[in-house]
A = this chain, B = another copy of it.
Amino acid sequence: MSITSREIRLKSRPVGLPTADNFELASVTVPAPGPGEVQVKNLWMTVDPYMRGRMMDRESYVPPFQIGEALQGGAVGEVVASNAEGLKVGDLVSTMFGWREAFNAPAGAVQKLDTHGLPPQAFLGVAGMPGLTAYVGLIKIAALKPGDVVFVSAAAGAVGSVVCQIAKLKGHTVIGSAGGADKVAFLKQIGVDHVIDYKAEKDLTAALQRAAPQGIDVYFENVGGEHLEAALNVAKPFARFALCGMISQYNATEAPKGPSNIILAVGKSLKLEGFIVSNHFDMAPAYLKELSGWIQSGKFHWKETVENGVENAPKAFLKLFSGENMGKMLVKLG
């Protein structure tokens, strides 16, 4: 059956902070699925900070979005027509065909989703890429070990809030930085030991020093800039930094200020390591097993910030940079 799908296309490449004008809404007709294909209606799509990088025309670990074409990203949808073996109408599927209401795809490009009783959109958050990112960064890249004091920036975000909870569940002292009273309250609710409201602090290093008088062993980096400098200042010898993202720099129009104290990495024997979750999908089964236990025991919490309708996907995306999201930023399409 042929259906109409609205989608968001990249109209122009953002310079600096993206605006609504960089996006355009369009309608396309999705024909009946061909042989071996399914037709999917999306229920939820995700917007994530990393997508800002794909809006630039540059070589990177994922190819750039193309102007005039629909954007891409994680989505969870429902099969509405199927010519593919093993997939039937009503099946939930996880795909990278976000930013649109519906699409056809070969069976190999969709992943059947067994929700294990979780809401489907959890697979775009705690049980999806952001959750696994938190786990990989903390367990593998930062090589979390007993007694570590853990500092997390953007701690109330989709990745940060999972980092905080994994570290707490594993018995660590956790310091989380976020901006604003609502986020601070959320972090206290999920058991973060010391919450820094960075918007209320003049001197982030001093604030971190008060929270961690003996220093930090692990820094989970989501922000960059002053957060990275503070972490370098307060790091204990042999501390490990998992570099997951630096959202403070994604919209920079000129070369951002680098960490002026990077030399501390020498004297303190620090390790700073960047990572991309897609290189570590082998850790997904271990993460989902642990996560499942935590959720079943009622010890794991998450927040969602939701916009409704594909036409509001750009708005949801822009909120990531104004810090208006708490936990996972999602767009409900179904």
A49 to nearest B CB, angstroms? 11
What are 28 A-B contacts with C-beta separation under 8 Å? Answer: A60-B267, A61-B237, A224-B262, A228-B262, A243-B265, A243-B266, A244-B266, A245-B266, A246-B266, A249-B263, A255-B260, A256-B260, A257-B257, A258-B258, A258-B259, A258-B260, A258-B262, A259-B262, A262-B262, A264-B274, A265-B273, A266-B274, A266-B275, A268-B274, A269-B273, A269-B279, A271-B273, A271-B274
Query: Which residue of chain B has the shortest Cβ distance to A264 in the bound complex?
Result: B274
10 extra interface residue pairs, beta carbon distance < 8 Å, beyond A60-B267, A272-B272:
A224-B262, A228-B262, A243-B266, A257-B257, A257-B258, A257-B260, A265-B272, A267-B274, A270-B273, A271-B274
By size class, the interface of chain A is 35 or more
With contact pairs A228-B262, A258-B262 given, residues A267 and B271 touching in the complex (Cβ less than 8 Å): no
How far, in whole Å, are A60 and B276 apart by their CA atoms in the complex? 33
CB-CB under 8 A from A224, the residues of chain B are 262-263
CB-CB nearest in chain B for A224: B263
Which chain B residues border A263 with CB–CB below 8 Å? 224, 246, 249, 256
1/0 contact string of A280-293 vs chain B (CB within 8 Å):
00000000000000
CB distance from A265 to the nearest CB of B (A): 4
- A270 partner residues in chain B, CB cutoff 8 A: 273-274
Tell me, rounded to whole Å, the shortest Cβ–Cβ distance linking A133 to chain B: 11
Q: Which residues of B contact A228 (CB under 8 A)?
A: 262
Residue A261, interface by CB 8 Å? yes
Is residue A53 within 8 Å, beta carbon to beta carbon, of the partner chain? yes
- Name A262's closest neighbour in chain B (CB-CB): B258
Q: How far is the CB of A55 from chain B (nearest CB, A)?
A: 14
Q: Least Cβ distance of A263 to chain B in Å?
A: 5
When C-beta atoms are compared, the residue in chain B nearest to A266 turns out to be: B274
For residue A218, give the distance in angstroms from its CB to the closest CB of chain B.
15
Residue of B nearest to A254 (CB): B260
User: Roughly how many angstroms separate A272 CA and B275 CA in the complex, as a whole number?
Assistant: 12
User: Nearest B residue to A221 by beta-carbon distance?
Assistant: B266
